Chain A
Amino acid sequence: MRSKLADVATTWTRPNDPPVLILTSLAAGNKHGYALAQDIEGFAGVVLGPGTLYGAITRLEERGLIEPVGASGRRRPYRLTAAGRASLAEALEDMRRVTDEGTARLRTGRARTVEPRWRPAGGAV
Protein backbone atom coordinates (compact mmCIF):
# COMPACT_ATOMS: atom_id res chain seq x y z
CA MET A 1 0.00 0.00 0.00
CA ARG A 2 1.28 3.48 -0.80
CA SER A 3 2.31 5.57 2.19
CA LYS A 4 0.45 8.70 3.29
CA LEU A 5 3.59 10.60 2.37
CA ALA A 6 3.45 9.26 -1.17
CA ASP A 7 -0.20 10.28 -1.39
CA VAL A 8 0.76 13.79 -0.36
CA ALA A 9 3.58 13.92 -2.90
CA THR A 10 1.44 12.69 -5.77
CA THR A 11 -1.12 15.45 -5.25
CA TRP A 12 1.53 17.76 -6.73
CA THR A 13 1.48 16.98 -10.38
CA ARG A 14 3.16 20.04 -11.84
CA PRO A 15 6.65 21.34 -11.23
CA ASN A 16 5.29 24.86 -10.71
CA ASP A 17 2.94 23.84 -7.87
CA PRO A 18 3.80 26.18 -4.97
CA PRO A 19 4.55 23.33 -2.49
CA VAL A 20 7.03 21.74 -4.93
CA LEU A 21 8.68 25.11 -5.53
CA ILE A 22 8.96 25.85 -1.82
CA LEU A 23 10.37 22.41 -0.98
CA THR A 24 12.82 22.70 -3.87
CA SER A 25 13.94 26.12 -2.67
CA LEU A 26 14.38 24.92 0.91
CA ALA A 27 16.39 21.92 -0.29
CA ALA A 28 19.24 24.38 -0.83
CA GLY A 29 19.04 25.89 2.65
CA ASN A 30 16.78 27.62 5.15
CA LYS A 31 14.90 30.74 3.96
CA HIS A 32 12.28 33.17 5.16
CA GLY A 33 9.27 34.24 3.10
CA TYR A 34 10.85 36.97 1.00
CA ALA A 35 14.01 34.96 0.34
CA LEU A 36 11.84 32.02 -0.75
CA ALA A 37 9.87 34.20 -3.17
CA GLN A 38 13.08 35.65 -4.63
CA ASP A 39 14.74 32.25 -4.99
CA ILE A 40 11.67 30.68 -6.62
CA GLU A 41 11.40 33.54 -9.09
CA GLY A 42 15.08 33.08 -9.85
CA PHE A 43 15.15 29.33 -10.53
CA ALA A 44 11.60 28.75 -11.84
CA GLY A 45 10.54 32.15 -13.16
CA VAL A 46 7.37 31.86 -11.06
CA VAL A 47 6.23 34.85 -9.03
CA LEU A 48 4.42 33.64 -5.91
CA GLY A 49 2.33 36.34 -4.26
CA PRO A 50 2.51 36.66 -0.47
CA GLY A 51 -0.96 35.11 -0.05
CA THR A 52 -0.17 32.10 -2.22
CA LEU A 53 3.25 31.63 -0.64
CA TYR A 54 1.95 31.67 2.93
CA GLY A 55 -1.02 29.49 2.02
CA ALA A 56 1.42 26.85 0.77
CA ILE A 57 3.73 27.34 3.78
CA THR A 58 0.74 26.80 6.09
CA ARG A 59 -0.20 23.55 4.36
CA LEU A 60 3.41 22.28 4.30
CA GLU A 61 3.91 23.04 7.98
CA GLU A 62 0.60 21.36 8.88
CA ARG A 63 1.78 18.23 7.09
CA GLY A 64 5.12 18.32 8.87
CA LEU A 65 7.08 18.77 5.65
CA ILE A 66 8.71 22.03 6.71
CA GLU A 67 9.28 23.69 10.08
CA PRO A 68 10.24 27.15 11.32
CA VAL A 69 13.77 27.67 12.54
CA GLY A 70 14.35 29.44 15.84
CA ALA A 71 12.03 31.52 17.96
CA SER A 72 9.11 33.46 16.55
CA GLY A 73 10.01 36.55 14.57
CA ARG A 74 8.89 38.68 11.67
CA ARG A 75 11.33 37.12 9.20
CA ARG A 76 11.48 33.59 10.51
CA PRO A 77 13.24 31.11 8.23
CA TYR A 78 11.89 27.66 7.41
CA ARG A 79 13.69 24.41 6.79
CA LEU A 80 12.86 21.06 5.23
CA THR A 81 12.04 18.20 7.60
CA ALA A 82 13.06 14.63 6.84
CA ALA A 83 9.47 13.97 5.74
CA GLY A 84 9.61 17.03 3.49
CA ARG A 85 12.81 15.84 1.90
CA ALA A 86 11.31 12.39 1.24
CA SER A 87 8.10 13.92 -0.07
CA LEU A 88 9.98 16.21 -2.46
CA ALA A 89 12.05 13.25 -3.69
CA GLU A 90 8.87 11.27 -4.41
CA ALA A 91 7.20 14.18 -6.19
CA LEU A 92 10.30 14.77 -8.33
CA GLU A 93 10.58 11.05 -9.10
CA ASP A 94 6.98 11.03 -10.29
CA MET A 95 7.64 14.06 -12.48
CA ARG A 96 10.81 12.46 -13.82
CA ARG A 97 8.85 9.36 -14.90
CA VAL A 98 6.45 11.54 -16.87
CA THR A 99 9.31 13.58 -18.32
CA ASP A 100 11.24 10.44 -19.36
CA GLU A 101 8.12 8.85 -20.84
CA GLY A 102 7.20 12.00 -22.74
CA THR A 103 10.74 12.41 -24.05
CA ALA A 104 10.86 8.75 -25.17
CA ARG A 105 7.48 8.99 -26.90
CA LEU A 106 8.53 12.14 -28.71
CA ARG A 107 11.69 10.39 -29.87
CA THR A 108 10.21 7.00 -30.84
CA GLY A 109 6.56 7.82 -31.48
CA ARG A 110 5.31 4.97 -29.25
CA ALA A 111 4.85 4.05 -25.60
CA ARG A 112 7.59 2.30 -23.64
CA THR A 113 6.82 -0.88 -21.70
CA VAL A 114 6.91 0.28 -18.13
CA GLU A 115 5.79 -1.02 -14.76
CA PRO A 116 2.43 0.64 -13.94
CA ARG A 117 3.11 3.37 -11.42
CA TRP A 118 -0.45 4.17 -10.43
CA ARG A 119 -2.83 1.74 -8.79
CA PRO A 120 -6.44 2.22 -7.74
CA ALA A 121 -6.85 3.28 -4.10
CA GLY A 122 -6.71 0.26 -1.82
CA GLY A 123 -5.06 -1.97 -4.42
CA ALA A 124 -1.90 -3.86 -3.62
CA VAL A 125 1.29 -2.26 -4.88
Chain B
Amino acid sequence: MSDAHRNDEVHRLLRWYPKGWRERYGDELAALVEDTTGGGPPPPALRRSLAWSGFGERLRSAGLVGEPVSPTGMGVGPWLVGCAWAAFVFAGLVFAKLAEHWDAATPTGSHTVPMVSFDAVEALAVLSALAIVVGVVAALPALVRLLAAGGWPALRTRVFVAIGLTVTTGLAVTGLALWAHRVSVHADGAPGGYQLVAMGVALLFAATLAGWSVVGVAVARRIELSPPLRRLVISCAGVVTLAMVGMTAAAATWWGALSKSAPWFLAGGRPGTAASPFDPTMVGTAVLMAVATLVAVYGTVQAARGWRAAGR
Protein backbone atom coordinates (compact mmCIF):
# COMPACT_ATOMS: atom_id res chain seq x y z
CA MET B 1 0.00 0.00 0.00
CA SER B 2 1.42 3.41 -0.95
CA ASP B 3 1.86 6.18 1.62
CA ALA B 4 -0.62 8.41 -0.19
CA HIS B 5 -3.28 5.68 -0.27
CA ARG B 6 -2.73 4.87 3.41
CA ASN B 7 -2.99 8.57 4.36
CA ASP B 8 -6.21 8.84 2.40
CA GLU B 9 -7.58 5.85 4.26
CA VAL B 10 -6.69 7.26 7.69
CA HIS B 11 -8.15 10.65 6.79
CA ARG B 12 -11.32 8.96 5.57
CA LEU B 13 -11.62 7.34 8.99
CA LEU B 14 -11.15 10.71 10.65
CA ARG B 15 -14.28 11.98 8.91
CA TRP B 16 -16.24 10.28 11.67
CA TYR B 17 -15.03 13.09 13.91
CA PRO B 18 -16.48 16.63 13.88
CA LYS B 19 -14.56 19.24 11.89
CA GLY B 20 -13.45 21.28 14.90
CA TRP B 21 -12.10 18.18 16.60
CA ARG B 22 -10.26 17.08 13.45
CA GLU B 23 -8.60 20.46 13.13
CA ARG B 24 -7.30 20.23 16.68
CA TYR B 25 -6.45 16.54 17.06
CA GLY B 26 -6.75 15.03 13.55
CA ASP B 27 -3.05 15.03 12.63
CA GLU B 28 -2.06 13.67 16.04
CA LEU B 29 -4.62 10.86 15.84
CA ALA B 30 -3.53 10.04 12.28
CA ALA B 31 0.09 9.80 13.49
CA LEU B 32 -1.00 7.54 16.36
CA VAL B 33 -2.91 5.27 13.95
CA GLU B 34 0.15 5.05 11.71
CA ASP B 35 2.41 4.25 14.68
CA THR B 36 -0.06 1.67 16.00
CA THR B 37 -0.47 -0.15 12.70
CA GLY B 38 3.22 0.08 11.81
CA GLY B 39 2.30 1.68 8.51
CA GLY B 40 -0.06 -1.11 7.50
CA PRO B 41 -3.76 -0.80 6.75
CA PRO B 42 -5.95 -0.16 9.82
CA PRO B 43 -7.53 -3.47 10.95
CA PRO B 44 -11.35 -3.73 11.17
CA ALA B 45 -11.39 -3.46 14.99
CA LEU B 46 -9.46 -0.19 14.80
CA ARG B 47 -11.81 1.14 12.13
CA ARG B 48 -14.83 0.30 14.30
CA SER B 49 -13.19 1.89 17.34
CA LEU B 50 -12.47 5.12 15.44
CA ALA B 51 -15.97 5.21 13.97
CA TRP B 52 -17.52 4.74 17.40
CA SER B 53 -15.25 7.31 19.07
CA GLY B 54 -15.80 9.79 16.24
CA PHE B 55 -19.56 9.39 16.46
CA GLY B 56 -19.30 9.93 20.22
CA GLU B 57 -17.31 13.12 19.65
CA ARG B 58 -19.97 14.34 17.24
CA LEU B 59 -22.71 13.77 19.82
CA ARG B 60 -20.56 15.45 22.44
CA SER B 61 -19.75 18.45 20.25
CA ALA B 62 -23.48 18.83 19.58
CA GLY B 63 -24.01 18.87 23.34
CA LEU B 64 -26.21 15.77 23.20
CA VAL B 65 -24.07 13.71 25.58
CA GLY B 66 -21.47 14.45 28.21
CA GLU B 67 -21.14 17.60 30.20
CA PRO B 68 -23.07 20.73 29.21
CA VAL B 69 -21.17 22.64 26.54
CA SER B 70 -21.39 25.94 28.36
CA PRO B 71 -22.29 26.31 32.03
CA THR B 72 -23.80 29.74 31.36
CA GLY B 73 -25.52 28.92 28.08
CA MET B 74 -28.99 27.52 27.70
CA GLY B 75 -27.75 24.06 26.82
CA VAL B 76 -29.37 21.77 24.28
CA GLY B 77 -31.63 19.96 26.75
CA PRO B 78 -34.67 22.21 26.25
CA TRP B 79 -34.15 22.13 22.49
CA LEU B 80 -34.05 18.35 22.54
CA VAL B 81 -37.39 18.47 24.33
CA GLY B 82 -38.68 20.80 21.60
CA CYS B 83 -37.50 18.44 18.86
CA ALA B 84 -39.02 15.46 20.63
CA TRP B 85 -42.26 17.40 20.99
CA ALA B 86 -42.27 18.14 17.23
CA ALA B 87 -41.93 14.41 16.52
CA PHE B 88 -44.64 13.75 19.08
CA VAL B 89 -46.95 16.20 17.32
CA PHE B 90 -46.48 14.17 14.13
CA ALA B 91 -47.39 10.99 16.01
CA GLY B 92 -50.29 12.82 17.67
CA LEU B 93 -51.72 13.87 14.30
CA VAL B 94 -51.61 10.26 13.10
CA PHE B 95 -53.21 9.15 16.37
CA ALA B 96 -55.98 11.75 15.99
CA LYS B 97 -56.64 10.53 12.44
CA LEU B 98 -56.71 6.89 13.56
CA ALA B 99 -59.03 7.70 16.46
CA GLU B 100 -61.49 9.71 14.35
CA HIS B 101 -65.13 8.66 15.13
CA TRP B 102 -63.99 6.01 17.59
CA ASP B 103 -66.99 6.71 19.85
CA ALA B 104 -69.47 5.99 17.07
CA ALA B 105 -67.85 2.63 16.35
CA THR B 106 -67.65 1.29 19.90
CA PRO B 107 -70.37 -0.09 22.20
CA THR B 108 -71.95 2.67 24.35
CA GLY B 109 -71.23 0.81 27.59
CA SER B 110 -67.47 0.83 26.87
CA HIS B 111 -67.00 4.57 26.41
CA THR B 112 -65.80 5.73 29.82
CA VAL B 113 -62.14 4.65 29.85
CA PRO B 114 -61.34 5.55 26.23
CA MET B 115 -63.27 8.81 26.57
CA VAL B 116 -61.35 9.89 29.66
CA SER B 117 -57.99 8.89 28.17
CA PHE B 118 -58.74 10.57 24.83
CA ASP B 119 -59.79 13.77 26.61
CA ALA B 120 -56.58 13.56 28.67
CA VAL B 121 -54.51 13.38 25.46
CA GLU B 122 -56.28 16.49 24.12
CA ALA B 123 -55.91 18.47 27.35
CA LEU B 124 -52.23 17.58 27.73
CA ALA B 125 -51.61 18.43 24.06
CA VAL B 126 -52.94 21.95 24.69
CA LEU B 127 -50.85 22.25 27.88
CA SER B 128 -47.66 21.13 26.10
CA ALA B 129 -48.30 23.53 23.19
CA LEU B 130 -48.71 26.42 25.64
CA ALA B 131 -45.47 25.48 27.41
CA ILE B 132 -43.67 25.37 24.05
CA VAL B 133 -44.96 28.83 23.13
CA VAL B 134 -43.86 30.28 26.50
CA GLY B 135 -40.40 28.66 26.15
CA VAL B 136 -39.91 29.92 22.59
CA VAL B 137 -41.03 33.45 23.49
CA ALA B 138 -38.62 33.43 26.45
CA ALA B 139 -35.69 32.38 24.24
CA LEU B 140 -36.54 34.64 21.29
CA PRO B 141 -34.78 37.84 22.51
CA ALA B 142 -31.56 35.83 23.02
CA LEU B 143 -31.83 34.54 19.45
CA VAL B 144 -32.31 38.07 18.14
CA ARG B 145 -29.25 39.19 20.14
CA LEU B 146 -27.26 36.29 18.67
CA LEU B 147 -28.20 37.25 15.11
CA ALA B 148 -27.53 40.94 15.77
CA ALA B 149 -24.08 40.02 17.12
CA GLY B 150 -23.16 38.31 13.83
CA GLY B 151 -24.27 34.76 14.62
CA TRP B 152 -26.03 34.21 11.30
CA PRO B 153 -23.06 32.82 9.27
CA ALA B 154 -22.63 29.96 11.75
CA LEU B 155 -26.29 29.01 11.33
CA ARG B 156 -26.81 29.81 7.66
CA THR B 157 -26.03 26.42 6.10
CA ARG B 158 -28.13 24.52 8.64
CA VAL B 159 -31.06 26.90 8.20
CA PHE B 160 -30.91 26.66 4.40
CA VAL B 161 -30.80 22.84 4.57
CA ALA B 162 -33.80 22.85 6.92
CA ILE B 163 -35.71 25.26 4.66
CA GLY B 164 -34.86 23.11 1.62
CA LEU B 165 -36.14 20.01 3.38
CA THR B 166 -39.29 21.85 4.47
CA VAL B 167 -40.05 23.03 0.92
CA THR B 168 -39.36 19.57 -0.51
CA THR B 169 -41.59 17.96 2.09
CA GLY B 170 -44.32 20.50 1.44
CA LEU B 171 -44.23 19.79 -2.29
CA ALA B 172 -44.18 16.03 -1.65
CA VAL B 173 -47.15 16.24 0.72
CA THR B 174 -49.09 18.33 -1.82
CA GLY B 175 -48.31 15.82 -4.56
CA LEU B 176 -49.31 12.95 -2.34
CA ALA B 177 -52.57 14.65 -1.39
CA LEU B 178 -53.43 15.20 -5.07
CA TRP B 179 -52.63 11.57 -5.82
CA ALA B 180 -54.70 10.44 -2.81
CA HIS B 181 -57.82 11.99 -4.41
CA ARG B 182 -57.32 9.83 -7.49
CA VAL B 183 -56.44 6.59 -5.70
CA SER B 184 -59.35 4.17 -5.33
CA VAL B 185 -58.96 2.31 -2.07
CA HIS B 186 -59.97 -1.34 -2.27
CA ALA B 187 -60.74 -3.68 0.58
CA ASP B 188 -57.06 -4.66 0.74
CA GLY B 189 -55.91 -1.02 1.09
CA ALA B 190 -54.24 1.52 -1.16
CA PRO B 191 -52.00 0.44 -4.09
CA GLY B 192 -48.44 -0.59 -3.24
CA GLY B 193 -46.90 2.31 -5.19
CA TYR B 194 -48.92 4.83 -3.25
CA GLN B 195 -47.94 3.28 0.06
CA LEU B 196 -44.28 3.36 -0.96
CA VAL B 197 -44.47 7.04 -1.89
CA ALA B 198 -46.36 7.78 1.35
CA MET B 199 -43.54 6.11 3.27
CA GLY B 200 -41.01 8.24 1.38
CA VAL B 201 -42.96 11.38 2.29
CA ALA B 202 -43.00 10.27 5.95
CA LEU B 203 -39.21 9.88 5.77
CA LEU B 204 -38.92 13.35 4.26
CA PHE B 205 -41.05 14.69 7.09
CA ALA B 206 -38.73 13.01 9.59
CA ALA B 207 -35.70 14.48 7.78
CA THR B 208 -37.30 17.92 8.00
CA LEU B 209 -37.81 17.50 11.72
CA ALA B 210 -34.18 16.39 12.02
CA GLY B 211 -33.05 19.39 9.95
CA TRP B 212 -34.81 21.86 12.23
CA SER B 213 -33.59 19.94 15.25
CA VAL B 214 -30.01 20.51 14.06
CA VAL B 215 -30.78 24.23 13.70
CA GLY B 216 -32.29 24.24 17.19
CA VAL B 217 -29.28 22.54 18.72
CA ALA B 218 -26.90 24.94 16.92
CA VAL B 219 -28.88 27.92 18.24
CA ALA B 220 -29.10 26.47 21.74
CA ARG B 221 -25.34 26.05 21.89
CA ARG B 222 -24.81 29.72 21.09
CA ILE B 223 -27.39 31.70 23.00
CA GLU B 224 -27.06 32.89 26.57
CA LEU B 225 -30.03 33.41 28.87
CA SER B 226 -30.28 35.20 32.20
CA PRO B 227 -30.77 32.78 35.13
CA PRO B 228 -34.52 33.58 35.54
CA LEU B 229 -35.19 33.09 31.82
CA ARG B 230 -33.12 29.94 31.79
CA ARG B 231 -35.10 28.61 34.73
CA LEU B 232 -38.31 29.45 32.89
CA VAL B 233 -37.21 27.66 29.69
CA ILE B 234 -36.09 24.59 31.64
CA SER B 235 -39.38 24.58 33.57
CA CYS B 236 -41.29 24.72 30.27
CA ALA B 237 -39.21 21.77 29.02
CA GLY B 238 -40.16 19.88 32.20
CA VAL B 239 -43.85 20.64 31.72
CA VAL B 240 -43.71 19.51 28.07
CA THR B 241 -41.95 16.30 29.07
CA LEU B 242 -44.48 15.52 31.80
CA ALA B 243 -47.30 16.23 29.35
CA MET B 244 -45.70 13.87 26.81
CA VAL B 245 -45.38 11.14 29.43
CA GLY B 246 -49.06 11.68 30.28
CA MET B 247 -50.14 11.67 26.63
CA THR B 248 -48.23 8.48 25.90
CA ALA B 249 -49.81 6.77 28.90
CA ALA B 250 -53.28 8.07 28.00
CA ALA B 251 -52.94 7.01 24.35
CA ALA B 252 -51.80 3.56 25.48
CA THR B 253 -54.81 3.37 27.82
CA TRP B 254 -57.13 4.38 24.97
CA TRP B 255 -55.55 1.75 22.73
CA GLY B 256 -55.83 -0.92 25.41
CA ALA B 257 -59.50 -0.07 26.10
CA LEU B 258 -60.41 -0.19 22.41
CA SER B 259 -58.45 -3.42 21.95
CA LYS B 260 -60.87 -5.01 24.42
CA SER B 261 -64.13 -3.35 23.45
CA ALA B 262 -63.77 -2.67 19.71
CA PRO B 263 -60.70 -4.27 18.10
CA TRP B 264 -62.45 -4.11 14.72
CA PHE B 265 -62.26 -0.29 14.87
CA LEU B 266 -58.47 -0.40 15.20
CA ALA B 267 -58.22 -2.82 12.27
CA GLY B 268 -60.62 -0.77 10.13
CA GLY B 269 -63.11 -3.66 9.93
CA ARG B 270 -66.87 -3.92 10.29
CA PRO B 271 -68.30 -3.74 13.87
CA GLY B 272 -68.44 -7.07 15.61
CA THR B 273 -65.87 -8.78 13.37
CA ALA B 274 -62.80 -10.46 14.86
CA ALA B 275 -59.65 -8.41 14.33
CA SER B 276 -56.16 -7.84 15.70
CA PRO B 277 -55.77 -4.58 17.62
CA PHE B 278 -52.15 -4.36 16.45
CA ASP B 279 -52.68 -2.25 13.37
CA PRO B 280 -49.20 -1.43 11.99
CA THR B 281 -49.92 2.30 11.82
CA MET B 282 -51.10 2.35 15.44
CA VAL B 283 -48.07 0.32 16.54
CA GLY B 284 -45.75 2.71 14.65
CA THR B 285 -47.50 5.71 16.17
CA ALA B 286 -47.20 4.30 19.69
CA VAL B 287 -43.50 3.54 19.15
CA LEU B 288 -42.86 7.08 17.87
CA MET B 289 -44.70 8.53 20.88
CA ALA B 290 -42.67 6.40 23.27
CA VAL B 291 -39.34 7.22 21.59
CA ALA B 292 -40.13 10.94 21.49
CA THR B 293 -41.08 10.83 25.17
CA LEU B 294 -37.81 9.10 26.05
CA VAL B 295 -35.85 11.75 24.12
CA ALA B 296 -37.77 14.46 25.97
CA VAL B 297 -36.98 12.85 29.33
CA TYR B 298 -33.31 12.69 28.32
CA GLY B 299 -33.42 16.35 27.25
CA THR B 300 -34.95 17.40 30.55
CA VAL B 301 -32.32 15.48 32.49
CA GLN B 302 -29.60 17.16 30.40
CA ALA B 303 -31.19 20.56 31.07
CA ALA B 304 -31.35 19.86 34.82
CA ARG B 305 -27.72 18.74 34.80
CA GLY B 306 -26.72 21.94 32.99
CA TRP B 307 -28.59 23.97 35.58
CA ARG B 308 -26.88 22.10 38.39
CA ALA B 309 -23.45 22.45 36.76
CA ALA B 310 -23.98 26.20 36.59
CA GLY B 311 -24.48 26.12 40.37
CA ARG B 312 -27.92 27.72 40.33
Contact = CB atoms under 8 A, between A and B. Distances in A.
Interface of A: 32-34, 37, 49-55, 57-58, 72-76
B57 A32 contact: no
B27 interface: yes
A54 B52 contact: no
A11 B192 CA distance: 54
A65 to B, nearest CB: 14
Contacts of A73: 27-28
Contacts of A72: 27
**For the complex, would chain B's binding face be called helix, strand, loop or mixed by DSSP majority?**
helix
A2 to B, nearest CB: 13
B53 A54 contact: yes
Contacts of A33: 28-29, 31-32, 35
Nearest to B66: A59
A97 B177 CA distance: 69
Contacts of B27: 72-74
Nearest to A36: B32
Nearest to B55: A51
Contacts, number: 58
B25 A37 contact: no
A52 B48 CA distance: 12
A58 B26 CA distance: 11
Given A34-B36, A55-B57, A58-B25, A75 B52 contact: no
Top 4 closest pairs, chain A to chain B, by CB = A51-B53, A34-B35, A33-B32, A74-B31
Contacts of B32: 32-34, 37, 50, 53-54
B310 interface: no
B176 to A, nearest CB: 43
A90 B277 CA distance: 58
Nearest to A75: B31
Contacts of A49: 45-46, 49-50, 53
